[in-house]
Amino acid sequence: MRRSREDTAATRQAIVKDASRLFRARGIDAVSVADVMGEQGLTVGGFYRHFADKEQLVAEAIAAASEQSSDGHAAATKGYAPGKLAARMLERYLSKEHCEHPEAGCPVAALCSDVAHGGPAVRASFTRALRRLLQMADEALPGDGARARERRLHAAAAMVGAVVLARATDDPALADALLRSVRRGIEQASERESASPPRRARATSSAAARRRR
């Protein structure tokens, strides 16, 4: 039974959205094409009218999750003063809430390991999502120069690492300690940085000076 163009587009969008939720919640391999279609009350045969294969769906689901996650961050930080942005970002990203609800959270944290063994389209989509996460860090932890960029990459890696490990461990106390430690670590680095101007920070950092040989 053919559907109108609007219905078709809406169905496709709904499939991607369901997939992005299910993949984040259960992992890519644990969610079948039939599972995804079932969310909309559809059967599996129709899937291939919309997508070439499962890999294409995964790639698009990652993109959709990245966009949703990015929009959520934008909405949650709207109106925040630049100095409060980092704290707000960390509060959200490193929350118990985020750990307990991967299906609505950051696809980078939810799918990083699944993606490592994935196809090229999936990895490319994941890399775009990772870049978007890094943009969030750029905004919250601003600053020019290689030192500032390194600081943001370090922060992003720690944030993802903390959430991934907090989700993987069966010890809630350890999970909580990881989240709190990364949050404070990044906050303190951020405050240290904004307290002293970059030039002075560089001049007094023996480590940075040594590294620059």
- From the list 34-42, 46-54, 66-74, 169-177, the region that binds a second copy by CB under 8 A is 169-177
By the rule CB under 8 A, 162 interacts with a second copy: yes
Distance CA 41, CA 29 (A): 21
By the rule CB under 7 A, 13 interacts with DNA: no
User: Are the C-beta atoms of residues 66 and 132 closer than 8 Å to each other?
Assistant: yes
User: Are the C-beta atoms of residues 73 and 121 closer than 8 Å to each other?
Assistant: no
Residue type for 44, please?
V
Nearer to DNA, 110 or 175 (CB): 110
CA 108 to chain centroid, in Å, comes to 4
Give the DSSP letter string of 115-146: HHTS-HHHHHHHHHHHHHHHHHHHHHS---HH
22, 14, 23: which is closest to 122 by C-alpha? 23
What's 102's DSSP letter? G
Q: Which does residue 35 touch among DNA, a second copy, none (CB within 5 to 8 A, set by kind)?
A: DNA
Nearest distance from C-beta of residue 103 to a second copy, angstroms = 12
By the rule CB under 7 A, 2 interacts with DNA: yes
Return the residues of window 79-118 that contact a second copy according to CB under 8 A: 102, 108, 111-117
Residues at the contact surface with DNA, assessed by CB under 7 A: 1-8, 11, 31-35, 37, 41-50, 53-55
Residues at the contact surface with a second copy, assessed by CB under 8 A: 26-27, 29-30, 102, 108, 111-117, 120, 123-124, 126-127, 130-131, 149-154, 156-162, 164-165, 167-171, 174, 177-178, 180-182, 184-189, 191-192, 195, 205-208, 211
